[in-house]
Amino acid sequence: MIIKSNPDEIQNYLTDASNYSGKCEAVYIPESEQEIVEIVSRCNADKTKITVAGNGTGLTGGRVPEGGIVLSTEKLNKILEINSNDKYAVVQPSVLLNEFQEEVESRNLFYPPDPTERNCYIGGTVATNASGARTFKYGPTRSYVLGLKIVLPDGRKLRIERGQFIADGSHAIIPTEDGSIISFELPNYEMPATKNAAGYYCKEKMDMIDLFIGSEGTLGIITEIKLKLIDLPKNILSCIIFFNSQEDALDFVEEAVRLSRYTDDSIISARGLELFDKFTLKFLRSDYSNIPENAEAAVWFEQEIDGNEDELISEWMELISKHNGMEEDSWIANDRKEMDKFKDFRHAIALKVNDYMSQRGLKKVGTDVAVPFESFKGFYFDTIKLVCEAGLNYVVYGHAGDSHIHLNMLPDNAEQYNKAIETYRQICSNAVKLKGTVSAEHGIGKLKREYFKLMYNDDVIKKMALIKLAFDTNRILNIGNIFDEKYLT
């Protein structure tokens, strides 16, 4: 095991991609599950707080310590098994998502979850129930987790497979490896029907593995993950279509969603539908001079081709033309290399925004809200109006197919930053009123706790805190994620 306490050596562990930073006494880097058990048992005995670190690409301060020690899983980074016959893989938590996907694809298999930032650990994606463009067709990380090994905050170990422990109504019973039982009542609260990564997944008769997925490291440290794989789709249609108006782009997305999800006899079936607004295109133009001058919006879509390719392309072209897409100026990927370039284009904007904010020493003010499909367009334009009225610069991009946008405000100084925070709160509140979520994929971490309270009242949050206490009686693990420590009394 490596232990670092020199300030220069631990600097990198004190922050994540949100620019929020914290402090800790030391960073522990165990090399086995047994070493994790030892660290955790010691910390539990003397009540030292532990913050679990993945690869630090999180956007909510989830892995940022506010004291105690950091436990980095970085040495547990092996792919343990890829089973091509039964289509599953077993990995340690710190396998890099992009390396895992490349390995799996080299065997003609496919692991769909694709957060835009693929330089993250699989453990981090399970802890936050990460999503990406392909979630539109394939669902979030949760849909691919078949089994987990977890070290609990008191050092006990848990192994849980999908389908193994189902709640008896609202009564949850989870046996640990040493034969002891953890039991508690599942609170009865409504989760948004949208894509969602806010708070514990809880409902009657639930599969108890789902409680751990998206629990942001508050219930235990994930030490091994069994993942479902599917067959690798062979041919993909991947296009970036530019539009002269934002309205046209949104209408195009809306109809593509209807055809993909709600129309049985349509051959249009997108696997991702991503939006870029005019300010995003402006922001990207310095790196991509081929973005058409008069483009006011763009949509990147992908579809797997499993039938007649010409017929499929002509259906999409018809839809593009119906919504006034700039057919001549749009980009169609001819091969895998070009498809990857489109992915880079999507990734570039997220990175540029993060750079912009860190150059100004400000934390990111980017929404992760999602609303129900039927409310999306109205919500989108109301949100833009709100930001314009506040006099703030912004860019909007993201997973429009899932009615999920990242509107990033771009304040230049402290005064604008405060205005952006106020506006951010209003946007979250509007999303919640529409039965949406304040976090569709990044999680709550430490930075979105106040907005989480717009979704659930104190009584509900206290009930969630009781779940954590059932696992973490001494209140040591990932304290401050999802809810404030004050709820853990």
Ligand X SMILES: Cc1cc2nc3c(=O)[nH]c(=O)nc-3n(C[C@H](O)[C@H](O)[C@H](O)COP(=O)(O)OP(=O)(O)OC[C@H]3O[C@@H](n4cnc5c(N)ncnc54)[C@H](O)[C@@H]3O)c2cc1C
- Residues of this chain that bind ligand X (CB under 6 A): 16-17, 52-59, 62-63, 73, 93, 115-117, 120-121, 123-125, 127-128, 130-132, 216-217, 221-222, 350-351, 354, 441-442, 445, 478, 481
Task: Work out how close the CB of 96 gets to ligand X at its nearest, in angstroms, rounded to a whole number.
Answer: 9
Q: How many residues does the chain have?
A: 489
**In terms of DSSP bridges, do strands 297-305 and 230-231 run parallel, antiparallel, or are they unpaired?**
unpaired
Nearer to ligand X, 118 or 278 (CB): 118
The amino acid at 37 = V
Nearer to ligand X, 248 or 302 (CB): 302
Nearest-CB residue for ligand X = 124
Task: Work out how close the CB of 64 gets to ligand X at its nearest, in angstroms, rounded to a whole number.
Answer: 8
Task: Work out how close the CB of 73 gets to ligand X at its nearest, in angstroms, rounded to a whole number.
Answer: 5
φ, ψ at 293 (rounded to 5°)? -55, -45
Paired residues of 160 in beta bridges: 148
Task: Work out how close the CB of 185 gets to ligand X at its nearest, in angstroms, rounded to a whole number.
Answer: 24
Q: 126: number of CA atoms within 13 Å, CB side?
A: 33
Task: Work out how close the CB of 168 gets to ligand X at its nearest, in angstroms, rounded to a whole number.
Answer: 26
Task: Work out how close the CB of 59 gets to ligand X at its nearest, in angstroms, rounded to a whole number.
Answer: 5
Query: What would the DSSP string read from start to end of 246-306?
Result: HHHHHHHHHHHHHHHHH-TT-S---SEEEEEEHHHHHHHHTT-TTS-TT--EEEEEEEEE-
Nearer to ligand X, 129 or 375 (CB): 129
Nearer to ligand X, 115 or 411 (CB): 115
Nearer to ligand X, 405 or 434 (CB): 405
Nearer to ligand X, 319 or 410 (CB): 410
Tell me if 455 sits within 8 A of 199, measured CB to CB: yes
φ, ψ at 271 (rounded to 5°)? -105, -15
Q: 390: helix, coil or strand? A: coil
Q: 394: helix, coil or strand? A: strand
Cα separation, 434 vs 122, whole angstroms = 32
Nearer to ligand X, 123 or 325 (CB): 123
Nearer to ligand X, 423 or 481 (CB): 481
Helical packing angle, 376-389 and 414-433, nearest 10°: 160
Alpha-carbon Rg for the chain, nearest whole angstrom, is 22
Task: Work out how close the CB of 306 gets to ligand X at its nearest, in angstroms, rounded to a whole number.
Answer: 25
Nearer to ligand X, 134 or 453 (CB): 134
The amino acid at 286 = S
Residue 166 Cα to chain centre, angstroms: 25
Closest CA relative to residue 199, chosen from 215, 183, 210: 215
Task: Work out how close the CB of 55 gets to ligand X at its nearest, in angstroms, rounded to a whole number.
Answer: 4
318 phi-psi bin (left φ>0, alpha ψ -120 to 50, beta other): alpha
Q: 68: number of CA atoms within 13 Å, CB side?
A: 25
Tell me if 446 sits within 8 A of 480, measured CB to CB: yes
Nearer to ligand X, 114 or 296 (CB): 114
The amino acid at 364 = K
Task: Work out how close the CB of 482 gets to ligand X at its nearest, in angstroms, rounded to a whole number.
Answer: 9
Task: Work out how close the CB of 204 gets to ligand X at its nearest, in angstroms, rounded to a whole number.
Answer: 26
